[in-house]
Amino acid sequence: MSDESRPSPTRQAPDTRANTPTAVVIPAAGRGVRLGPGAPKALRALGGTPMLIHAVRAMAASRGVSLVVVVAPPDGADEVKSLLDAHALPERTDFLVVPGGSTRQESVRLGLDALPPEYGIVLVHDAARPLVPVDTVDAVIDAVREGAPAVVPAVPLADTVKQVEPAGTPGEPEPVVATPERARLRAVQTPQGFDRATLVRAHGTVTDDVTDDASMVEQLGLEVVVVPGHEEAFKVTRPLDLVLAEAVLARRRLNDGF
């Protein structure tokens, strides 16, 4: 079938999607180099519980999610399976564990390969965003169910952003090339939500290095929409992010106590 005659995946009738089963792929196979030496990032503790378990619970908290596929560090699939067995998770959600690859993109693709056929909607969520609120997850699922082939949660930027000509040597001054209008920029988070066939096609077609899944769908020329993200969906990347994550957890415990 030529591209012209392919049925447009730009919009699907909302009522055909309302009951489509939804799965989440959680890439968790990274080392966490920027966090410093230690266990793989997803297995490090936050409030005494591995970051990955927080992320899995955050996804399973959504009533729309019926399967979570965890993409484990290549040598850590058994450890991840034991972790999932050892922690209380909702009964309505199934879990699968597959070993990951050497890039995030490869890890996501390995997760997609493991999906049973009935899941027509797929979310991709970084294990490194353990504290995303369930409302954000639901907002992404709702937008895909309403017909968008690709949905990303995002927040406005606090800092002005400069585009530069990167210096050859770290620390050297870098010439500024442009200053994009801040009001039109968004910082993108996960979970990102997709029509499954669209995401599979993107992963089968786009070979460039990308840092998120939606940009692969953009490269196919398809519509990607943004829904409101949340400040607590930040990515744990550097040591200071762990301090922030512990503080968010402490605030939640305090609020739950009253």
Residues engaged in binding ligand CTP (CB under 6 A): 27-34, 41-42, 71, 100-104, 107, 126-128, 235, 237
Question: Residue 217 corresponds to which amino acid?
Answer: V
Least Å distance between CB 198 and Mg ion? Answer: 24
Task: Kindly tell me which of 63 and 114 has the beta carbon lying closer to ligand CTP.
Answer: 114
Copy the structure tokens of residue 19. 């009951």
**Contacted by 58, from ligand CTP, Mg ion, none: CB < 5 to 8 Å by type:** none
Q: Are 68 and 59 spatial neighbours (Cβ–Cβ below 8 Å)?
A: yes
Q: Are 89 and 57 spatial neighbours (Cβ–Cβ below 8 Å)?
A: yes
Task: Kindly tell me which of 100 and 229 has the beta carbon lying closer to ligand CTP.
Answer: 100
Stretch binding Mg ion (CB under 5 A), from 20-28, 30-38, 123-131, 193-201: 30-38
Q: Is 215 exposed, middle or buried (0-12, 13-18, 19+ CB in 10 A)?
A: middle
**Contacted by 237, from Mg ion, ligand CTP, none: CB < 5 to 8 Å by type:** ligand CTP
Task: Kindly tell me which of 47 and 74 has the beta carbon lying closer to ligand CTP.
Answer: 74
**Contacted by 196, from ligand CTP, Mg ion, none: CB < 5 to 8 Å by type:** none
Copy the structure tokens of residue 111. 């997760």
3-state SS string for 115-159: CCCCCCEEEECCCCCCCCCHHHHHHHHHHHHCCCCEEEEEEECCC
Least Å distance between CB 108 and Mg ion? Answer: 12
